[in-house]
Amino acid sequence: MATEERTQEILEKLKNAVIEYDEDAAKEGAQEALDEGVKPNDAIFDGLVSGMQEVGKLFEAEEYFVPELLMCADALYAGLDILKPHVEQLDLGVKGSVVIGTVEGDVHDIGKNIVKMMFDVAGFNVYDLGRDVPLDQFVEEQLKTDSELVCLSAMMTTTMVGMQKVIEDLKKKNPDVKIMIGGAPVSGDIAEKWGADGYADDATNALADAINMVSSLKKMKEEAEAREKQK
């Protein structure tokens, strides 16, 4: 078990590996975290993701441009690949099916993949459509898989508007489906205005909200079935 000081050192190494787009350091830091008993969740959120938040600031300050961002993303994924299989599996008593993807026109997929990881560790069936997903594909996949939940991610003000169409189309085809949206430009107010059932600002809250939605949906279905039987 790493001491508090050593834990901070490893987290700092992971953070800097992303900022300095150093894939080797990210892999090394991830392995050190595992070897020394740092929780994989902490290494991901307080190390890698925290580094990417700093990268966002450097981009805004025009110190970094798209090529740097791409290399930072590669470093983050290099560390994530090592840590992900070790994230603790959760048994939260409810499991569901979820369709997830980043909407059309948008290639940002780090946040979406981290939300996906949380669903994976909670034992959900995850249908990941990837990034830059044509809007109709969300509706098609939900109908095909009969998933309880659809999660839409967008990182740009220009692409998030596509979510509104998906929400409308999904609710028309299947009023029971629950829809959750997220990504930096999205907010709870927008989610409400567009008729989504939920919004979360990070992956941990996304899973917590999803569990609530899926359990209320399952309860409603069970009650409806019980009423049918009584007839």
Nearer to ligand B12, 36 or 205 (CB): 205
Task: Give me the least distance between CB of 19 and ligand B12, in Å please.
Answer: 11
Q: Using a CB cutoff of 8 Å and minimum separation of 24, what contacts does 51-56 make?
A: 51/14, 51/15, 51/16, 51/17, 51/18, 51/19, 51/75, 51/76, 52/18, 52/76, 52/110, 54/15, 54/18, 54/19, 55/18, 55/19
Task: Give me the least distance between CB of 62 and ligand B12, in Å please.
Answer: 10
Nearer to ligand B12, 192 or 223 (CB): 192
Nearer to ligand B12, 6 or 125 (CB): 125
Task: Give me the least distance between CB of 125 and ligand B12, in Å please.
Answer: 16
Name the β-bridge partners of 153. 102, 182
Name the β-bridge partners of 198. 180
Nearer to ligand B12, 37 or 130 (CB): 130
**Which spans of this chain sit near ligand B12 (rule: CB under 6 A)?**
49, 52, 55-56, 59-60, 66, 69-70, 73, 105-112, 114-115, 151-153, 155-158, 180-185, 200-203, 206
Query: Residue 204, class by beta-carbon neighbours within 10 Å (0-12 exposed, 13-18 middle, 19+ buried)?
Result: middle
- Residue 42 half-sphere exposure, CB side, CA atoms within 13 Å? 16
Nearer to ligand B12, 107 or 220 (CB): 107
Task: Give me the least distance between CB of 5 and ligand B12, in Å please.
Answer: 26
Task: Give me the least distance between CB of 6 and ligand B12, in Å please.
Answer: 25
